[in-house]
A = this chain, B = another copy of it.
Amino acid sequence: MMQTLDIDLPAGRQMHDFVSELFPICRSLTGDGVRQTLEIIRKHLPGLQVHEVPSGTRAYDWVVPDEWNIRSARLTGPDGSTVVDFKESNLHVVGYSEPVDRELSLEELQPHLYSLPNQPDATPYITSYYKRHWGFCLPHNVRQRLQPGTYRAVIDATLAPGHLTYGEIILPGDSDPSGQEVLLSTCICHPSMANNELSGPAVATWLAKWLQGKPHRHTYRIVFIPETIGAIVYLSRNLAQMKGRTLAGFNLTCMGDERCFSFMPSRKGDTAADRVARHVLRHCAPDHKVYTFQDRGSDERQYCSPGVDLPMCLVVRSKYFEFPEYHTSLDDLTLVTPAGLGGSLAMLRLCLDCLEHNETLRTTVLCEPQLGRRDLYPSVSRANNLDAASLHMIDILAYSDGDHDLLTIAENVGAPLWTLLDTVDRLKAHGLLR
């Protein structure tokens, strides 16, 4: 039963505006760009808590680095003309560049330049977080026209003890006695790139808004963090309370383009997150691409690491590494669209809906109940006169044995879980299921 995904275009337009507002800000692992970004998210989610972790703080095998802030940067040519300027694009400066103000020959400059011979018009995204370095990124076409002579490289940045900043919002579940949590994690450390990564914070924010507007059984833990070090810091502070309670997790990344959906499983591969993701994608995006955990590259590396073992998978559009605009200036506000964002939001909502409504059911009577006297079954019996709803009803009863959860029943029936919910509710109302 093919389902058409119900793209939320109004929300998609709002998310695109949000991405556009955040786009110019220079984010990095740390610094004021991250703070500005979280401030804008907090306008949408007033309950967002912002945490500051001092440089030098240990987190497992890592140490929080110095904070980086940059005010301006320019590379000037022998003739005094500007080669690249930070104010044109924050991608022009290697992330975490140390401050510099230096004249140097083209030959001396080359080890500090980064460009892409195969994408000569694009500026690449380069960082050097943990080794002191400085550099400029520029289109290969521009680089090739550089003439010998004396260049001046100026980067007005500070790299000094400060803080790593991240945000989190926890939406407590209504009444689930098991107190299970769903984790949504997204990155706020990428400078001006739209699909990877502003689409992630956008969908995370709009999922949080949607959850706040409706009852929900599970608790939702939504975190906005710098990649890798942020996840490690977050886990070092919160893993104890997350372990054993986290039912499912999704790393929200690369969700804004209109290309086909993609799935990457968790390390264990068969967690509740994986199961709902496969179920939803099978019905709503049967042409989705399937990756393996070998293809991981974002914070699932930390969340799924041995001993951490959180059930995190990826439901994304064009996966990082896999689309041509990845980590370049081409990943811009035209690649990401309202329809792309709105479709991803709809897809994730279905995943969360399945998690919310999945439960293990048991019939209350032995043998089939007499549905006819409850007007749940046609009274005149003839060949093949059962409609899909009646068939689903007897199938739900047949598999509600206390061993199969509703997701398994939906898989057996071949129907999306959410199309069975009315029938489940009717059977519960008649006291036939619990």
Contacts and interface: CB of A to CB of B under 8 A. Distances in A.
Contacts of A236: 366-367
A307 interface: yes
B294 A367 contact: no
A349 interface: no
Contact of A379 (B59, B131, B394): B131
Interface stretch (A119-127, A145-153, A209-217, A248-256): A119-127
Interface string A377-399: 00111111000000000110111
Given A301-B398, A306-B400, A401-B307, A62 B370 contact: yes
Chain B CB within 10 A, most for which of A128, A133, A304, A306: A306
B124 A363 contact: no
B306 A381 contact: no
A308 B366 contact: yes
A231 interface: yes
B366 A305 contact: yes
B305 A367 contact: yes
Given A381-B128, A398-B267, A413-B294, A301 B368 contact: yes
A107 interface: no
A235 B381 contact: no
A234 to B, nearest CB: 10
A128 B305 CA distance: 61
A418 interface: no
Given A114-B382, A379-B130, A367 B231 contact: yes
A68 interface: no
Given A61-B365, A301-B368, A366-B60, A383 B307 contact: no
B398 A304 contact: yes
A142 interface: no
Contacts of A402: 306
A294 to B, nearest CB: 7
Nearest to A307: B366
Chain B CB within 10 A, most for which of A231, A367, A402: A367
Interface string A191-228: 00000000000000000000000000000000000001
A367 B235 contact: yes
Contacts of A370: 61-63, 130
A150 to B, nearest CB: 25
Interface in A306-361: 306-309, 321, 326-328
Contact of A61 (B369, B382, B398, B413): B369
B381 A321 contact: no
A18 interface: no
A242 to B, nearest CB: 12
Contacts of A397: 305-306
B380 A128 contact: yes
Interface in A72-123: 94, 114
Contacts of A114: 382
A382 B301 contact: no
Contacts of A131: 372, 379-380
A126 B380 contact: yes
A22 interface: no
Chain B CB within 10 A, most for which of A59, A60, A382, A395: A382
A305 B398 contact: yes
Nearest to A130: B372
Interface in A20-69: 59-63
Contacts of A130: 370, 372-373, 379
Contacts of A398: 267, 293, 296, 301, 304-306
9 closest A-B pairs by CB: A306-B401, A131-B379, A327-B383, A61-B369, A61-B365, A302-B367, A232-B367, A130-B372, A128-B380
24 contacts: A61-B370, A63-B370, A125-B383, A127-B380, A130-B372, A130-B379, A133-B379, A231-B367, A232-B367, A235-B367, A236-B367, A301-B394, A301-B398, A302-B367, A304-B398, A305-B366, A305-B397, A306-B362, A306-B363, A306-B397, A306-B401, A307-B401, A326-B383, A327-B383
